[in-house]
């Protein structure tokens, strides 16, 4: 056996590593920023409802950014677009610490989401071009695991800084500014641009893969609730800033630990069946967490399970949809998935904030339970009416 035989596999692994590290670095800054906002909002007297709206504005910016970034992608290469987005996000991070008021945070969250859309559009299209169906679950699982590890690393930074100053916001910006560096180690497809002829409407995508497109709206609700409101929940439960970091860190560590094995499982059996099982287990964890003190060690162990069972839903849904998409429509698929995910994710923080306003801090867990149960019901229905079958691409025009 010669090196030439293994060269394509090695190139794929290096490419996946570089892309995952870039988005992971973005999320070190993003994870730190979200938790900082959760802690700082309590000391600044910003209400839970306003924080839910602020977190939702991130995804509103994300939704608005996707079509704009796809249009910009017609004129800029993948690498150039990613660099531009990360530098704009880094500059915006400083504003959170310098302007601690609801109006400024709402505007900044929108801008942050707008730029983050460009980063995700570049990386997910690139990854799905590299991966084939037999390894897509592992590739996307690895990608999301590294992203979750980035968020966990952000919590480590929070645990050693003073959240009442602007300095940690500056640190978040500085970290994000270097997120483009690993991207330049990827040797495949970096100069590729988006071609308008490859565009497919969201309605066409929904007809091609209803489980993926419609289901991803519900995935967005679950992840928007979990990722954006976990720190707010922990702060409102009177955990210290270091305990908030530990709680969110437990969620993201669980996501890291289980992404790859669950992604590999989805490559072997029905991805939709795995998603249903994960939703049921996440709902059970929510019930258990509602019956223990947020300050107890058990709560942090359950937070690990919460992240481990819930976070893989994104990678599984993404992989399932791309299983059914022809290669020349991968950018359209990424755009559709990010749009539908973000639309759902806008409502996740709002649902959690409303539930917390009605039921207290435990409302966060009830919101998670309801959103995961809804996804389980939908996916179960789709498995019954449209069982998994061999891939036959549909003509679109």
Higher pLDDT, 384 or 130: 384
The mean predicted confidence, pLDDT, of the chain is: 83
pTM: 0.76
Q: Which two tokens stand for residue 73?
A: 């992608």
> C-alpha angle 290/49/251, rounded to 5°?
40
Tally of CB atoms within 10 A around 164: 15
Q: Is 3-385 a domain of CATH 1.20.1250.20?
A: yes
Q: What is the mean pLDDT of residues 61-86?
A: 88
Highest mean pLDDT among 237-246, 271-280, 328-337: 271-280
Residues 382/272, Cβ–Cβ less than 8 Å? yes
Q: What is the mean pLDDT of residues 98-114?
A: 89
Return the beta strands (E) in 153-266 as ranges.
Answer: none
Looking at residue 188, its pLDDT comes to 65
Residue 194 pLDDT class (50, 70, 90 cuts): low
Rg of the chain taking only CA atoms, in angstroms? 20
Is the pLDDT confidence value at 391 over 50? no
Task: State the Cα–Cα distance between residues 335 and 121, nearest whole angstrom.
Answer: 7
Q: Using one digit for the tens of pLDDT, what is the confidence trace for 285-336?
A: 999 999 999 999 999 999 999 999 999 998 898 888 878 777 777 777 777 8
Looking at residue 275, its pLDDT comes to 94
Q: What is the percent of the chain where pLDDT is above 90?
A: 30
Q: Helix 136-158 vs helix 241-268: angle between axes, to the nearest 10 degrees?
A: 170
Residue 337 pLDDT class (50, 70, 90 cuts): confident
What DSSP character marks residue 393? P
Domain ranges within the chain, ordered by starting residue:
3-385
């Amino acid at each position: 056996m010669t090196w030439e035989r293994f060269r394509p596999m090695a190139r794929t692994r290096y490419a996946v590593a570089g892309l995952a590290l870039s988005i992971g670095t973005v999320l070190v800054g993003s994870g730190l920023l979200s938790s900082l906002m959760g802690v700082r909002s309590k000391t600044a007297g910003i209400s839970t409802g306003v924080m839910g709206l602020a977190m939702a504005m991130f995804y509103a910016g994300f939704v608005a950014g996707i079509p704009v970034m796809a249009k910009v992608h017609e004129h800029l290469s993948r690498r150039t677009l990613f660099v531009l987005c990360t530098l704009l996000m880094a500059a915006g991070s400083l504003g959170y610490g310098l302007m601690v008021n609801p109006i400024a945070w709402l505007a900044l969250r929108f801008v942050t989401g707008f730029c983050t859309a460009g980063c995700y559009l570049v990386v997910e299209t690139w990854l799905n071009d590299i991966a084939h169906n037999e390894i897509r679950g592992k590739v996307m699982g690895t990608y999301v695991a590294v992203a979750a590890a980035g968020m966990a690393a952000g919590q480590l930074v929070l645990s050693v800084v003073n959240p009442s100053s602007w300095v940690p916001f500056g640190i978040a910006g500085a970290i994000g500014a270097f997120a483009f560096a690993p991207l330049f180690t990827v040797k495949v497809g970096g100069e590729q641009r988006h071609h308008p002829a490859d565009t497919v409407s969201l309605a066409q995508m929904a007809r091609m893969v209803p489980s993926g497109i419609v289901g991803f709206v519900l995935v967005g609700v679950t992840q928007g609730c979990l990722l954006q409101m976990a720190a707010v929940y922990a702060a409102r439960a009177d955990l210290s800033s270091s305990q908030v970091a530990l709680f969110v860190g437990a969620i993201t560590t669980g996501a890291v630990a289980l992404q790859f094995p669950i992604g590999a499982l989805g490559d072997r059996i029905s991805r939709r069946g795995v998603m249903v099982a994960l939703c049921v287990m996440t709902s059970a964890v929510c019930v258990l967490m509602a019956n223990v003190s947020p300050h107890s060690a058990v709560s942090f162990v359950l937070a690990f399970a919460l992240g481990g069972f819930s976070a893989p839903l994104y990678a599984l849904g993404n992989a399932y949809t791309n299983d059914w998409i022809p290669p020349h429509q991968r950018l359209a698929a990424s755009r559709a998935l990010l749009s539908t995910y973000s639309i759902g994710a806008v409502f996740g923080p709002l649902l959690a904030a409303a539930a917390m306003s009605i039921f207290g801090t435990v409302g966060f867990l009830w919101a998670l339970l309801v959103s995961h149960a809804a996804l389980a019901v939908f996916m179960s229905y789709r498995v019954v009416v449209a069982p998994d079958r061999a891939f036959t691409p549909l003509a679109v025009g």
